[in-house]
């Protein structure tokens, strides 16, 4: 009897052989760096639960973007941390709001060499921390919230965003935003829809990053998806594309590789995935204890997201990976 000696191992024998047959290659152009910019600070403020990530000042954000550009990273998604919050989140569409100013700064510095995306939501700006305006019963009023999103989209487009990324999970948000953009002739501004977004426990550190606490111990289960379900993710993705989404995002990433995989098979638009704050923080926390190797796990996780079918990955590891690839 002959043994199947090394039958599957031959192309694993040397790095050169492995490189030759690698199916998935993670590159600098696959990465989108999420960045936070905070109003009224002059120095960056560290975020305890997101090691290595900060709330930038306007100036430090400009430096960060130029350093990322030097590493070859070509895309960022911006989140604002306003000084004042109110019931509607008006800072989100104020032309002088922190994200609008930051978009203009980046545009002035890097022109069209860089893709500037803006998260489009109001939760960072509302006093109650929800992704929309509340009705009398304390739940988010879908249709009144769409009017607010339309205003935010116009403000972000006027500031110079290439891509707006609605993350609030209101029904009809993509259609409302597309028509608002078109009505001000911002027809070239693309919509990256957070199409399948789950009510995940993995957003914890992000809420520290943007100083959000949901009022009355509330949560987002009334509008974000239930993680027991996959079919509704497909319905969400189809609805967003029908409404005019130019690309769709799945979020979080690692617990939802099945959704990423299914999405990449059924859509004909780019698929993005968001490796979220909790996913990043877990790797850091374990690495700090010496329980795993941060670099190895970062590469493995972000590559796995691409292998599942994502064309681009939003990740707090963008800078780390950019430095590692350089």
User: Catalytic residue numbers?
Assistant: 197, 251
Tell me if 34 sits within 8 A of 77, measured CB to CB.
Answer: yes
Q: How far is the CB of 196 from ligand PBG (least distance, A)?
A: 13
Closer of 110 and 314 to ligand PBG (Cβ): 314
Closer of 26 and 47 to ligand PBG (Cβ): 47
**Helices marked H in the chain:** 15-21, 58-71, 98-110, 142-159, 173-183, 204-209, 231-243, 257-266, 277-288, 294-308, 318-325
203 touching ligand PBG, by CB under 6 A: yes
SS3 284: helix
> Which class for 276: exposed (0-12), middle (13-18), buried (19 or more C-beta within 10 A)?
buried
Q: How far apart, in whole angstroms, are the C-alpha atoms of residue 286 and residue 292?
A: 6
SS3 250: strand
- With CB under 6 A as the rule, give the number of residues binding ligand PBG: 9
121 touching ligand PBG, by CB under 6 A: yes
Q: How far is the CB of 325 from ligand PBG (least distance, A)?
A: 22
Closer of 57 and 224 to ligand PBG (Cβ): 224
- Quick one: tokens of 190? 């693309």
Cα dihedral sign, 151-154-158-164: positive
- Quick one: tokens of 230? 């996959």
DSSP string, 118-156: EEE-STTTBTT--SS-B-TTSSB-HHHHHHHHHHHHHHH
Q: Work out the angle at residue 97's Cα, subtended by the Cα atoms of residues 203 and 320, and round it to the nearest 5 degrees.
A: 45
Pick one of 30, 88, 123, 162: the residue that binds ligand PBG (CB under 6 A): 123
220 touching ligand PBG, by CB under 6 A: yes
167 touching ligand PBG, by CB under 6 A: yes
Q: How far is the CB of 123 from ligand PBG (least distance, A)?
A: 5
Q: How far is the CB of 149 from ligand PBG (least distance, A)?
A: 11
36 touching ligand PBG, by CB under 6 A: no
206 touching ligand PBG, by CB under 6 A: yes
Q: How far is the CB of 222 from ligand PBG (least distance, A)?
A: 12
CA neighbor of 276 nearest in space, from 321, 315, 221, 320? 315
Q: How far apart, in whole angstroms, are the C-alpha atoms of residue 32 and residue 21?
A: 26
Closer of 208 and 300 to ligand PBG (Cβ): 208
Closer of 57 and 167 to ligand PBG (Cβ): 167
85 touching ligand PBG, by CB under 6 A: no
Q: How far is the CB of 285 from ligand PBG (least distance, A)?
A: 15
Site residues for ligand PBG, window 260-289 (CB under 6 A)? 276-277
Site residues for ligand PBG, window 100-119 (CB under 6 A)? 119
Closer of 262 and 273 to ligand PBG (Cβ): 273
Q: Work out the angle at residue 47's Cα, subtended by the Cα atoms of residues 46 and 53, and round it to the nearest 5 degrees.
A: 75
Binding residues for ligand PBG (CB under 6 A)? 119, 121, 123, 167, 203, 206, 220, 276-277
């Amino acid at each position: 009897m002959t043994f199947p000696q090394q039958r599957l191992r031959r192309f694993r024998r040397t790095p050169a052989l492995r490189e030759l047959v690698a199916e998935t290659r993670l590159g600098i152009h696959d990465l989108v760096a999420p960045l936070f910019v905070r109003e009224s600070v002059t120095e960056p403020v560290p975020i305890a639960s997101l090691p290595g990530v900060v709330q930038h000042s306007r100036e430090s954000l400009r430096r960060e973007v130029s350093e990322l550009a030097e590493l070859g990273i070509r895309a960022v998604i911006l989140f604002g941390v306003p000084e004042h919050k109110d019931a509607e989140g008006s800072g989100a569409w104020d032309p002088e709001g922190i994200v609008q100013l930051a978009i203009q700064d980046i545009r002035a510095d890097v022109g069209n060499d860089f893709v500037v995306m803006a998260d489009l939501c109001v939760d960072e700006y509302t006093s109650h921390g929800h992704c929309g305006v509340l009705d009398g019963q304390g739940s988010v009023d879908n249709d009144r919230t769409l009017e607010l999103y339309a205003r935010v989209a116009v403000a972000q487009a006027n500031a110079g965003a290439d891509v707006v990324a609605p993350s609030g999970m209101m029904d009809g948000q993509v259609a409302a935003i597309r028509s608002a953009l078109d009505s001000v002739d911002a027809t070239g501004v693309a919509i990256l829809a957070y199409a399948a977004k789950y009510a995940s426990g993995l957003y914890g550190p992000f809420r520290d990053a943007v100083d959000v606490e949901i009022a009355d111990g509330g949560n987002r289960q009334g509008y974000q998806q239930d993680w027991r379900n996959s079919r509704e993710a497909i319905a969400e993705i189809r609805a967003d594309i029908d409404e005019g989404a130019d690309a769709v995002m799945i979020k979080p990433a690692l617990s939802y590789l099945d959704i990423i995989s299914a999405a990449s098979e059924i859509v004909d638009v780019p698929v993005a995935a968001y490796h979220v704050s909790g996913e990043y923080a877990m790797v850091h926390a374990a690495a700090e204890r010496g329980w795993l190797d941060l670099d190895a796990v970062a590469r493995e996780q972000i590559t796995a997201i691409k292998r599942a079918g994502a064309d681009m990955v939003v990740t707090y590891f963008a800078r780390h990976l950019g430095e590692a690839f350089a």
